[in-house]
Structure 1
């Protein structure tokens, strides 16, 4: 222990005297902190002589090896603005202000150390020299380590002398995150955008710092004139997520950048924090290939864009090879055939196109129909694919083909509805046509006149009847033309001759239900001798006796009024001929004993006709105009005969 030299009067009043002390020194070894008792005896000195009048006392003391120090007041922390703070944003450096008093009698250098309970404070030990019985203030730099969350902490300041703790003091602080944010990008929903369409991008950001408040977002881009940014909230806690939705319509294809700005603040200061993000994007443009017919009808087929079968593709600017099918089948008889490209790209099905923005190409097709027109009879045909609206010349088909055996084929038209007269058709749909023929068989109607020793056959009509068709006649409508001779004709029966046989019917109405081959209908007529009327029955004969001897024949002319049969009148010499003129002017010839049939050319007529055909034996005689005159003169001969009679 040491004290000031000499005698010192201590403050205070001691009744009856003074207090003195005597300096003394504690010599090593020093047991710092050990407690001792000092014994003091004071004797009265008179005339420099110590008297036995003494008193004694003692005092306890602690042995120390340095002057003790104490912390004056409470340490405190100031920021860079020299402001006292207790809320300390992390990741920052502050000053810890400590005042130390030296209570000893000599100047001494002390060591100051700082620690905290959360382990977030970092500070180096510092030394400070304090004069005896004086004070000194020290600024200890402290660094607050980063923290993502607010933490309550306690800082302890300790003052050491010669390695011994003299004094300590504690202060409470709040360690804060270093700042709100910064935010980091967690995810971006897409970086591939479509030109000319509104695109939506969702960006997720995480707050890595303290709570961020008053959040605002902005966005700009070099590929869109306007970018609208909408935050999901205006405040995000530490570690929380912020969702920002971007709306933009790119106007330029290619690579681009979106710059996102994030502005926010926090409750522990007036500072504004800004985070900036750059998002690289690629803007695609649309390449469309339309396949349509020339009349605008869509063609159901796919194009190929750089080998990918599609009619529309979002692409980056560049060069692309586009192909379309040359033929698109709709059915077995309908198809589309490529014709040409729009935009002047020509007529090849494969083209190369430079794409820098939205591009639409149109491949035009012509619709074709398959046409098959055949005639199996003549072997003629037309077939192939024809453009819609084009014309086709039909094969030239004869109206009929005769087989010269009582049968023929007659061209009826086409199975697709075109009549036989059609030569050119327009193709507006698939056409599958065959020539339509019908087999016809010849039906011949003949009058067979028999009796008086001979038989005469007269063809009354030739008809063509479709195979399987029916045929019906009334025989009375085919009565021979010589129905008014002296001896009348009577219908007997009909004989039906076919390739398979014959049949007979006595009915005057002959009906055939199905014609399946050439057919002859013979209408048999017989002379009715019962009705022969003699000269007294009103037959006036004017005999023109032109007699020729030997080889000259007799010719007898008769006027036939009502009878249906006549007999020869005149000489019986060979070669004698009888000539009769019917009342209607028809002239007939006959050899002896022959029947003299008279047939008008037209059914049911009994008038004078030029070229009336009759038969004389096996020969045919045609009545001429000259013979008509002879018939007229016969009337005069009749009158003359009456006169002679």
Structure 2
């Protein structure tokens, strides 16, 4: 007939029956084992054979590397000295670095450089002097080259601009400087420009490509505020000025007539300003916050007439005042004016009245 059953007793407690003459088995321990095979044919006849097998200890492959997270282009040292033989000595180390490079050497220490970032499966096969071998596989992560971006200001330390850090090579970092940095009332820093490694860069924000270590500096200028105040008219010149700049305070008019016999007349610039020209003060050097104040005076209109009207000569005035409309003169508020009636042919002076109220003879 034909053999239809193969029963294997591997001597380690494992018994398997199969209809195939070929079988595999792995021993979990070292030592000598008696293997017994029982075969049975289609007629029910059987036979048994026994043989001994010796399972010997194999070497154990192991390795480590430094740095643990290497950068692209950085030299990595692989060390297989932690591998152990089975009694002989390890004589061959075959490295598959996972990037297409395979190297065989008799030295447990080897170096390798990865050209690109990524995860690589590294396989080490060790062979000992007795011809036995073992394999170990580990995954190494190669990171991109990292560069440091320094971000600072000029003057130094006036504000903190986000973005200073380590970055993977090729990263594009956007930096935005605040347009102004307050210091105190009337004092601030105004953004001027960026430079990267000493080379000026236009615009804000800017982008820095991390292809090396870089230093980005935001440059600022110191500014002071000029305040211009006036109770009348429209002022000009108020605003921020660079330190040391020259500023001017201005007014659109130096005369405000209220139409009721009262007017306002510009007299001078005060505060941190000087000059008597309402249209433009004397130069103001902006080396601190400053205030320009427009000074005004009040004038009233004095009208002198005779009754009957038109008599000549007119009464005299002391002081004479500033000429106004017919028979009228402007005087500063609270000015005392002496009026003297003059002899008029055919008339005798009777009395004065002011705004219709008799002032006596």
TM norm structure 2: 0.44
Using CA pairs below 8 Å that are at least 6 residues apart, which structure has the higher relative contact order? 2
Larger Rg: 1 or 2? 1
Report the structure, 1 or 2, having the larger helix content. 1
TM norm structure 1: 0.28
